[in-house]
Structure 1
Amino acid sequence: MKNTTQAPSTKPDITFQVPVDYYKLDNGLKVILSRDTTSPTVVVAVYYNIGFRIEPKDRTGFAHLFEHMMFQGSQNLGKMEFIRLVQRNGGVLNGSTRFDFTNYFEILPAHKLETALWAEADRMKGLAITQDNLTNQQGVVKSEVRVNVLNQPYGGFPWLDMPQYANQNWFNAHNFYGDLADLDAATLEDVQQFFKTYYSPNNAALAIVGDFKPEEAKALVQKYFAGLKPATLPAQPDISEPRQEKEKRSVKKDSLANKPALAFAYHMPKRNTPEFYAMGLIDQILMQGNDSKLYQALVQKKGYTGSVSGGINYLGNMFNYNGPMIWMGDLIYDSNVPADSILAVLDSEIAALDKNGIDQASIDRALVKIRSSLYDNLTGTYGFGRADLLACFALFDDNPARINELEAEFKKVTPDVIKKTVSEYLRPTNRTILTVDPLAPAESK
């Protein structure tokens, strides 16, 4: 194997270090080991570098459909046997499709590490791709769309809707859940080609977090994954977004909603830039918690709404994506409140930051909040939060040790960087407004 082990950062202002042992198999599989003996459990997470963004055109929802297919059986495990295998060994499991990855994970008693690795390697090697399985899962996904979006008040608002309004590039702006006609049009050949192309070891990262012996874990990874063949990966499509130069406003009619709702979105800075980290702190200042400026202004002072939700990346967090992203907020409000009154409060709070800037004490408070959020994520769900970031940083940056650099990057943000970021990224011309019009005949976009 090609050893590319990276030592964690040793910057003196960071008190907690995540152990990171990173290497690659000869077939391209990225492997990250992070030992944690605080509980006798182990997380095995396999992340494939394929998500909503680059699914085939005219096959909206295909990446999500394929996530379902991964539980329909493999060479040595029949339909749904993967799930039963994990549960009967005292574990839990799940999978999900996101903007830039599809992931599968198991949390098991530590002594069942080999079971999880064998099972994940078995389905990476080959799925039971049959017409019966495809037809069945097309029906399951279509039912999911009907239940969660089409027949639900505020269905898809704003997490599914806003990217379609705020973005211009099809890869960022199509219906990620899937158009029902597109789901029906997926063929067995489509599924077979999708698996062959994207579910290969050189398009994946394997993260193991928990109570294990590193040399034993490496031997098991070598045993079950080293023999899998890599694929020829296609060129990545252009997923960039042009600079937005004019505010966009749209209305979605929703016959099932009983109150109006409003969402606003601003395009984010590029990942890993000073402005990216500044937006993380701005999010804490404006949006997160009852002490945030928008909560205080819209809920406590004006009483326009009972809560304000929002943040960076509604389908995860500000670290586990790899492309254009929006910072977004949303709220449901009383019908006697004009939408422009809400936007006036938003504009006022942003204008105050733009004009007056922010002092270091406020930045320090935001740092405390974001540090708390980061460590909650790293320690949550028996280590899955840690596995998630390690796998994403391996896939997107070829550097899972970046997990130990995040806090230091936020600490580099100065009041000047905050002010610069507000001026460029929270300008009205970089904004998209989407309102829900209730109790009206439902219309498509």
Structure 2
Amino acid sequence: MKGKFLLAVCMLLLATQIGAQEVAYEEYDLDNGLHVILHQDNTAPLVTTSVMYHVGGKDRTEGRTGFAHFFEHLLFEGTKNIERGKWFEIVSSNGGRNNANTSQDRTYYYEVFPSNNLKLGLWLESERMLHPVIDQKGIDTQNEVVKEEKRLQYDNSPYGQIFPVVGKSLFKKHPYKDPNIGYMEDLDAATLEDVIAYKKKYYVPNNAVLVVAGDINIGETKKMIQDYFAPIPKGATVTRNYPLEDPITSEVETVTYDPNIQIPATIVAYRTPGFKERDAYVLDMISSYLSDGKSSKLYKKMVDEQKQALQIGAFNIGQEDYGMYLIFGLPVGDTSLDVLVSEAEEEIAKVRTDLISEKDYQKLQNKFENNFVNSNASVEGIAGSLATNYLLYGDTSLINKEIEIYRSITREEMKAVANKYLNPNQRVVIDYLPEEKPAN
């Protein structure tokens, strides 16, 4: 009886904690199509202003890859009213910080300021959208910046070619086949007219969402947003019609070499559905079951017990059109890559053929509940979640109800989804090897 009482108390506390996590927000559209989301939290005198554009690495034409990532840099160059090179100085001198990042599906810019500088944050993002200076000098400057980033993060970084190799292996038609950063010869070949046309097509209010979160007054914030963003002209509707991939029906084996590594790696990759699909949520749970933490199936077996792997992990990488499910392993000593592949497949096969235990299922549910409780611990994080849920998932309310999807996933569903996507005949096996040294 005492145990049942304690369990009831714990469940009540968890429910209270989750209820307290609910994020209040207001959203609306300006006449030019810009979607606005406001979240008021007056607990700290900080405010995040952010704009997410629905443009990423996949939005390109053949021979002009990498434009979205390039623009992530280019749109800090300067504007009609911000002198070239002064953006970061303006932000830091007013007590703020800012950053940006690009994926295959979107580009995100944000600033965090003391709340008395909300007006400045809004002005900066409206300047970026309306008045960026795009000229040959800025293009040449940022071209060199991107090349240096590619050298540091891809060309000269250990295992830096993993995602380009996986993308090229899993996709033959869809733009996901090319790396987000693009190919440098494409950026070198781009003309000023190419770059201006790209800006005109994608960096328009009706292809973006503005989120303001933090210590704000809703009425005053709406007035500032109207003043700064409403005059920006609406762009043409962005349409996408990317080719569909043919199913992978037999195992593909490939080898790649990396001069920056000494320990080989194996990568087993599966093409999976886009992150809006329910099956993608189930794959999240499968990857957590297999490799999240030292008690997970792959880690416990291959690292702890059998001493076959230095590292082993299963990762569900979400993207808008197609996802990628990866098994990544580093062998111990003379353990072959084939052994890592077969041992990992043995654990995946168990998910396909048997229901996971009720105990493991409850551990998974507890883990996802805990992740949900902690997911919106900062106003900055809330701003990013609101933007992502609206722009990419088409449902802002996921910030409060996404946990309901994970709660509803059953053990039977995990088995069914593993059978649907994680079979040997649907995978690409990549031997990722140190570059062979030439014989003397």
TM-score (norm 2): 0.91
User: Aligned partners of 2:156, 2:279: CA distance in 1, in Å?
Assistant: 39
Aligned to 1:423: 419
Q: Is the 8 A contact 1:268 1:325 kept in 2?
A: yes
Taking the TM superposition and a 5 Å limit, the aligned residue runs for 1:153-172 are 153-156=158-161, 158-172=162-176
Aligned to 1:249: 253
Aligned to 2:305: 301
Aligned to 1:292: 296
User: Aligned partners of 2:274, 2:185: CA distance in 1, in Å?
Assistant: 34
CA offset at residue 39 of structure 1?
2.1
User: Aligned partners of 2:231, 2:91: CA distance in 1, in Å?
Assistant: 23
Aligned to 1:414: 410
CA offset at residue 310 of structure 1?
4.4
User: Aligned partners of 1:334, 1:422: CA distance in 2, in Å?
Assistant: 28
Q: Residue by residue, what CA displacement relative to the aligned partner does 1:54-85 show, whole Å, maximum 9, x if unpaired?
A: 22220121211111100100111112222111
Q: Say which is worse superposed, 234-243 or 393-402, in terms of deviation.
A: 234-243
Of 92, 102, 106, the match for 2:97? 92
SS of 2:211's partner is: strand
User: Aligned partners of 1:335, 1:241: CA distance in 2, in Å?
Assistant: 38
SS of 1:99's partner is: coil
The verdict on how the C-alpha distance between 1:260 and 1:166 changes in structure 2, with shifts beyond 3 A counting, is same
User: Aligned partners of 2:403, 2:233: CA distance in 1, in Å?
Assistant: 38
Taking the TM superposition and a 5 Å limit, the aligned residue runs for 1:14-29 are 15=19, 16-29=21-34
1:63 equivalenced with 2:68 (yes/no): yes
Which protein is bigger by CA-based radius of gyration?
2
User: Aligned partners of 1:325, 1:43: CA distance in 2, in Å?
Assistant: 30
Q: Is the 8 A contact 1:260 1:334 kept in 2?
A: no
CA offset at residue 189 of structure 1?
0.6
The verdict on how the C-alpha distance between 1:270 and 1:68 changes in structure 2, with shifts beyond 3 A counting, is closer
Q: Is the 8 A contact 1:46 1:206 kept in 2?
A: yes
Q: Which amino acid aligns with 2:144?
A: G
Q: Which amino acid aligns with 1:201?
A: P
Q: Which runs of 4+ in 1 moved over 6 A?
A: none
Structure 2: stretches of 5+ with no match in the other structure: 1-14
Q: CA RMSD in A?
A: 2.0
Taking the TM superposition and a 5 Å limit, the aligned residue runs for 1:35-46 are 35-46=40-51
Taking the TM superposition and a 5 Å limit, the aligned residue runs for 1:357-372 are 357-372=355-370
TM-score (norm 1): 0.90
User: Aligned partners of 2:223, 2:314: CA distance in 1, in Å?
Assistant: 43
Aligned to 2:193: 189
Q: Residue by residue, what CA displacement relative to the aligned partner does 1:247-295 show, whole Å, maximum 9, x if unpaired?
A: 2221111222111011222222343443222112111101211121111
Aligned to 2:349: 351
CA offset at residue 239 of structure 1?
5.1
Aligned to 1:7: none
User: Aligned partners of 2:87, 2:307: CA distance in 1, in Å?
Assistant: 50
SS of 1:358's partner is: coil
SS of 1:93's partner is: strand
Q: Residue by residue, what CA displacement relative to the aligned partner does 1:311-350 show, whole Å, maximum 9, x if unpaired?
A: 222xxxx4xx422111223233245111111011111101
| Aligned residue pair count | 423
Q: Is the 8 A contact 1:283 1:311 kept in 2?
A: yes
Q: Which amino acid aligns with 2:381?
A: G
Of 148, 151, 156, the match for 1:143? 148
SS of 1:307's partner is: strand
1:105 equivalenced with 2:110 (yes/no): yes
Q: Is the 8 A contact 2:314 2:327 kept in 1?
A: yes
Aligned to 1:231: 235
The verdict on how the C-alpha distance between 1:441 and 1:29 changes in structure 2, with shifts beyond 3 A counting, is farther
Q: Percent identity?
A: 29
CA offset at residue 408 of structure 1?
0.6
Of 392, 396, 403, the match for 1:400? 396
Taking the TM superposition and a 5 Å limit, the aligned residue runs for 1:307-318 are 307-313=311-317, 318=318
The verdict on how the C-alpha distance between 1:441 and 1:32 changes in structure 2, with shifts beyond 3 A counting, is farther
User: Aligned partners of 2:74, 2:251: CA distance in 1, in Å?
Assistant: 40
1:80 equivalenced with 2:85 (yes/no): yes
SS of 1:262's partner is: strand
Of 327, 346, 359, the match for 1:329? 327
SS of 2:322's partner is: coil
Q: Is the 8 A contact 2:309 2:340 kept in 1?
A: no
Q: Is the 8 A contact 2:329 2:340 kept in 1?
A: no
Q: Is the 8 A contact 1:259 1:335 kept in 2?
A: no
The verdict on how the C-alpha distance between 1:64 and 1:37 changes in structure 2, with shifts beyond 3 A counting, is same
Q: Residue by residue, what CA displacement relative to the aligned partner does 1:159-209 show, whole Å, maximum 9, x if unpaired?
A: 332112112224110132222211211111111111111000000011112
